[in-house]
Amino acid sequence: MRMLPVASLGLALLLLSGCLPQSPTVTPTPQPSSTPVFASDEEALAAAEAAYRAFQKTSDEILAEGGTRPERIDAFAVGAAADTEKEGFADFVRKGYRSTGLTTFDNFSLEAFDPLAAEGRDIVRAYLCSDVSGVNVVDLTGTSVVAPDRPTKTAFEVGFDLRPPLLLVVSSKDVWDGGGVCP
Amino acid sequence: MKDKALLALVALGLLLALQPVSSAHAEGCSVSQQLIGGCTPNVSGNLNDGSAVLEGTAGSPGSGAGGSGAGDDGAASTPIDPNAQCVIVVAGRCLYAADHGVQVQPITLADIAAFRPDPGVDNMEPNGWMIVGLDTNFFATDGTQIKDGTLLGQPASVRFTPVTWRWTYGDGAAASLGTAGGTWGSQGIEEFDPSPTSHVYRAPGTYYIDLSIDFTAEYRFGGTQWIDIAGILPVAANRLVATAGDAKTVLVERECTKNPGGPGC
């Protein structure tokens, strides 16, 4: 809506200058590229959580299948996040690892929602607490390769990019060691 | 909206709010890393502080404050698991280093000597006799077999797959074939027709026919994937003893009542 005064001013100037026919054709104002896609923080948070859930589920599936067909993650991740995951998948393939069980998360909370974020910048950032207590990783012999001191819960700060028109995809995922996320 | 975001930040706790977001980052961590060894904040900057962070993030995020300032701008470095290169270590022996995609100290046929495939069975048509100048059909019955046992002290399975059938026909001829063959009937051809595994004897007499079947072997521990074992394991099948005669001898001088397995009976 804030474009409106400028547009009105421009139109007024054009009208004053006599450069327009008397009955100008009214065309819809082009939508700015940064049109807010979520009406509220709640909507953004729900969309981000759904996006992360899909990302986590797909990652679990790929790892359960030994890291094969890693491109499946591309539907849910982009950029550094996708690259990092794919390195992990390739590592599983090389080592013959396979995961069993599902990763869960909770305390998904909004850090920031910037509806006017430029393309390629995180439109949503969120924190979550990831729980791997139900997941095992085994090698070709079926022996667990999980480190004995593996933390059960890890806090992450996750960034999301907008994949038009309305899809959020994970763009970054960093360990959050600031506390307060995993109770 | 910004107000709500701020509220959300505050809700994360006083601790979080006290720390600038930019200084609390560590490097990205893949799900696979998290599953295997856990994702840890950057520990390359200061080992002592890093250790404290590791302990803190195990389950009590509040204590993370002590380590949050350590080495945030250091280069990302993942600790290398000294055993990472060797995927399968059994009895102190590295069998498979998947990092290199090769078997380092591979299991050999000698290692699986305790595992033996069942010998195949050599068959012939007609059964026990042949007509000089006409095709005699030989075929083996065998197949892929999985044998369970112990390998390097661990429960393991070995899978044998027949790949080559080596016949010696007793008349000086031999053939190495890539098929076990089958009955005339199963191949949809008439008796005494040539088949991929048939042989023609040129002189009457008694012949000893031997068959050796080459098996390839694979092994696995538990229910995981099969790993090739280099080499071929030849296993002798039964010996057939059969008499070759000319058509007059075998067809006229034998009757169906006395020889129900004879041709045309």
Q: How many domains does chain A have?
A: 1
Q: What is the pLDDT of residue A165?
A: 61
Q: Is B132 left (phi over 0), alpha (psi -120 to 50) or beta?
A: beta
Query: Does residue A180 fall inside a structural domain?
Result: no
pLDDT in tens, B214-237: 999 998 876 666 888 888 899 999
Tokens of B121: 């069975």
Instruction: Write out the residue range of the structural domain in which residue A149 sits.
Output: 35-175
Mean pLDDT of B10-21: 32
Q: How confident is the model at residue A24 (pLDDT cuts 50, 70, 90)?
A: very low
Is A6 contained in some domain? no
The per-residue pLDDT for B250 is: 59
CB B44 within 8 A of CB B50: yes
Query: Side chain identity at A60, as an amino acid letter?
Result: D
Band the pLDDT of B111: cuts 50, 70, 90: confident
Predicted pLDDT at B147: 93
ipTM: 0.70
Question: Which of B34, B56, B81 is facing A132, going by the closest CB pair?
Answer: B34
The answer, for B53 touching chain A at a CB cutoff of 8 Å, is yes
- Cβ within 8 Å, pair A140-B65: no
Q: Tens digit of pLDDT for each residue in A112-143?
A: 887 666 666 788 899 999 999 999 999 988 88
CATH classification at residue A116 = 3.10.450.50
pLDDT band, very low/low/confident/very high, at A30 (cuts 50, 70, 90): very low
State how far the Cα of B27 lies from the Cα of B248, in Å rounded to an integer: 89
Q: Work out the average pLDDT over B132-142.
A: 93
B28 vs A84: CB contact, 8 Å cut-off? yes
Residue numbers in B near A95 (CB within 8 A): 84, 87, 98-99
Q: Where are the alpha helices (DSSP H) in chain B?
A: 2-11, 14-18, 31-36, 47-56, 247
User: What is the three-class DSSP state of B201?
Assistant: coil
Which amino acid is it at A130?
S
> Within a domain: residue A39?
yes
Chain B residues with CB under 8 Å of A64 CB are none
Average model confidence (pLDDT) for chain B?
Answer: 69
A65 within a domain of the structure (yes/no): yes
- CA–CA distances in Å: residue B168 to residues A16, A178, B180, B196, B262: 108, 77, 14, 15, 24
Provide, as residue numbers in chain A, all residues whose Cβ is less than 8 Å from the Cβ of B35.
63, 99, 103, 132, 135, 137, 146, 150
**Range from A30-39, A43-52, B151-160, B250-259 carrying the lowest mean pLDDT:** A30-39
Each residue of A13-23: pLDDT tens digit? Answer: 443 444 444 44
Please report the pLDDT score of residue A130 as a whole number: 95
